[in-house]
Amino acid sequence: MHVGVVMNPIAGMGGRVGLKGTDGKVEEARERGAKPRAPDRARRAMDRLAAVAPETAVSTAADPMGERIVREAGFEPVRVVDPFESEERRGTDDAPIETTAEHTRRAVEAFLEAGVDLVLFVGGDGTAADVATALEGTGTPMLGVPAGVKVYSSVFAVSPEDAAEVAATFSRTERREVMDIDEDAYREGEVHPELRGVAHVPVADDLQSSKQTASGTVESLAEGVADDIRAREGEGVTYVLGPGSTVGAIKAELGFSPSPIGVDVWRDGEVVALDATESEILAALGEENEIVVSPIGGQGFVFGRGNPQLSPAVIRECDVRIVASRTKLDDVRALRVDTDDPELDAELSGWVRVRVGKFETRMMKIV
């Protein structure tokens, strides 16, 4: 197996600081104290690939697009391209160079010339669209290590470790959708996924589905959860209310205008923080805290897609309440988490009770 590995070093930087994406927001993300997410995700994938398939031949792009991480995993990669040749070079893990779509396409084109069997990329939907564009018409498959804030496409593995397992074991491919959304519109609460391409992707159980919008009423569910929250007013319980339309209905039932696609904090009948970042959420927490979150329709992700503000540090300080419409749960086989902390992912796994109505619940398994 010959794998071409390319990383978008700035993917996902805007998530925990409340920017809901990195497109055009890299400097602002850095000013808010954002740290790169992609290098750690790439490292997990490559460490696992080295463990399960150490004989894999690896081609890479020059740093900061993956070469050092591949070497640190124990591989002896062949650098087939320096996408930054003739450009001023700078960047570290803490302040990576701001790569562009053109850099990604150059890397993928070099992989094709080198005859790779698979392009393994680390990034989000924008990176996926860039890779798919470069691969169009070639038949060479691609597989994503999820590292972006918004991960709507069905070309990603569930986790970095899953990506390595799939890369090492797949025997056939199928055509899958590459989706992306306008991040500026997303920050204003408008979600309009756009089909950016169709790519060949390894066939495996550990791939996520495309994001689908679930239908069905959530009014009674929102009323029931809001009643529970109001019943504890005066007790100092802090509620961290996640993004999305389902939890948005709960926020509306509580009587405030929520931030679009944001995480809001509520305590004793008042808004403590709107569109809160990870650090703002941590600062707002009290002695008793609860996260209210709804899985993504069609994918089943509770944490790790669209809500990176709910970081491991936040989750570990809170009880977790999962809410969803019956229709949304009918569209998913299981719930998933991808928090950037494998130990926490394991702690969260297992059977959980999901609130589906004013009083009703359903048992679902986090896998």
- The tally of domains found in the chain comes to 2
- What gap in Å lies between CA 148 and CA 121, rounded to an integer? 11
- Residue 14: its pLDDT value, please? 54
- What gap in Å lies between CA 111 and CA 99, rounded to an integer? 18
DSSP string, 107-143: HHHHHHHHT-SEEEEEE-HHHHHHHHHHHTTT---EE
Distances (CA, A) of 82 to 54, 68, 199: 24, 13, 25
- Give the contacts of 193 (CB within 8 A, at least 6 positions apart): 152, 179, 180, 181, 210, 211
Based on the fold, state whether residues 133 and 236 are members of the same structural domain: no
Q: Is there a domain that residue 208 lies in?
A: no
CATH code (residue 155) = 3.40.50
Distances (CA, A) of 88 to 39, 106, 170, 246: 21, 17, 39, 46
- What's the DSSP call for residue 45? H
- Residue 197: its pLDDT value, please? 86
The number of helix segments (H) and strand segments (E) in the chain equals 13, 16
- At residue 138, the 3 state secondary structure works out as coil
Sign of CA dihedral 42, 335, 313, 98: positive
- Residue 23: its pLDDT value, please? 56
Beta strands at 270-273 and 264-267: parallel, antiparallel or unpaired? antiparallel
Based on the fold, state whether residues 33 and 111 are members of the same structural domain: yes
Q: Is there a domain that residue 207 lies in?
A: no
Q: Is there a domain that residue 283 lies in?
A: yes
Based on the fold, state whether residues 299 and 358 are members of the same structural domain: yes
- What gap in Å lies between CA 344 and CA 353, rounded to an integer? 18
Based on the fold, state whether residues 42 and 67 are members of the same structural domain: yes
- Residue 217: its pLDDT value, please? 62
Based on the fold, state whether residues 59 and 194 are members of the same structural domain: yes
- Per the listing, tokens 């619940």 go with 361
Residues 325, 312 contacting (CB under 8 angstroms)? no
Based on the fold, state whether residues 154 and 22 are members of the same structural domain: yes
pLDDT string in tens for the chain (367-residue length)? 999 999 998 886 755 545 545 555 556 655 666 577 899 999 999 999 999 999 999 999 999 899 999 999 999 999 998 877 755 554 555 445 577 889 999 999 999 999 999 999 999 888 999 999 999 999 999 999 999 876 778 899 989 999 999 999 999 999 998 887 665 555 455 555 678 888 999 988 777 766 544 444 688 899 999 999 999 999 999 999 999 889 999 999 999 988 878 999 999 999 999 999 999 999 999 999 999 999 988 889 999 988 999 999 999 999 999 999 888 888 788 999 999 999 999 999 999 999 998 888 888 999 9
In which domain, by residue range, is 317 found?
A: 219-366
Based on the fold, state whether residues 192 and 118 are members of the same structural domain: yes
